Amino acid sequence: MEVRGGRTDSAVLVPLFTDASGRLHAVFTRRRDDLKRHAGEISFPGGRRDPGEGLIDTALREAHEEVGLRPELVDVVAQLPTLGTVVGQFNITPFVGITDGRPVVTADSREVDRVFDVALAELLDPAVYHEERWSWGLDGTDRAMQFYDLADETIWGATARILTGFLARIVDVDVTGDWGDWTRA
């Protein structure tokens, strides 16, 4: 998807850690059900950029505010390409950060219902991933929508697009390119 002006800049952190058995995990949040925007959805910690703030600082600040992840405990190792959202008109810049072991996190009850992690091996299981075709926009353009169906949650929307692009980069799998080829940028 082409990123255009007049949109709200935001950033998310894709927090990663290795568990005791050596499996890599990603940390997610489940947003509260009573929020005005994205209620009950699964997301990476993140949000709008404050005036004068760099995007990496936004991602780290939001992760600290939403889940209590202290910025000094995160080693930011990558910036993924910015993607635009259809519904909220956001430009989201994801940053990948690694922590030394499972991070101590606490959900901010004003925004987050719960914080959880998922092993990347589970996310790469073909039984977890599926794709649907949805019509979007004024022209009704048909686009791929990715879904990760976990035991108790479903990851979809912008979070699934970020996750799919990230996983495609680290395991070199093909992904649908009809949102623009941002996954390979």
Q: Where residue 41 sits, what CATH number does that domain have?
A: 3.90.79.10
In a domain, 2, yes or no: no
Number of compact structural domains in the chain: 1
In a domain, 3, yes or no: no
Considering the entire predicted model, what is its pTM?
0.87
Indicate whether 20 pLDDT > 60. Answer: yes
66 or 185, greater pLDDT: 66
In a domain, 46, yes or no: yes
- The token pair at 84 is 């635009």
In a domain, 38, yes or no: yes
pLDDT tens, position by position, 43-67:
999 999 999 999 999 999 999 999 9
pLDDT tens, position by position, 62-110:
999 999 999 999 999 999 988 887 666 889 999 999 999 999 999 988 8
Q: What is residue 154's three-state secondary structure?
A: strand
Indicate whether 177 pLDDT > 90. Answer: no
Indicate whether 1 pLDDT > 50. Answer: no
In a domain, 75, yes or no: yes
Indicate whether 175 pLDDT > 70. Answer: no
Nearest 10 degrees: CA dihedral of 111, 39, 61, 179? 170
- CA-CA distance, 130 to 29, in Å (whole number)? 21
CA distances (Å), origin 69, targets 16, 62, 94, 183: 12, 9, 16, 27
Nearest 10 degrees: CA dihedral of 152, 155, 156, 162? 180
Q: Which structural domain, as residue segments, surrounds residue 107? A: 8-172
Mean residue pLDDT across the chain: 85
In a domain, 57, yes or no: yes
- The token pair at 105 is 């996190």
In a domain, 179, yes or no: no
In a domain, 42, yes or no: yes
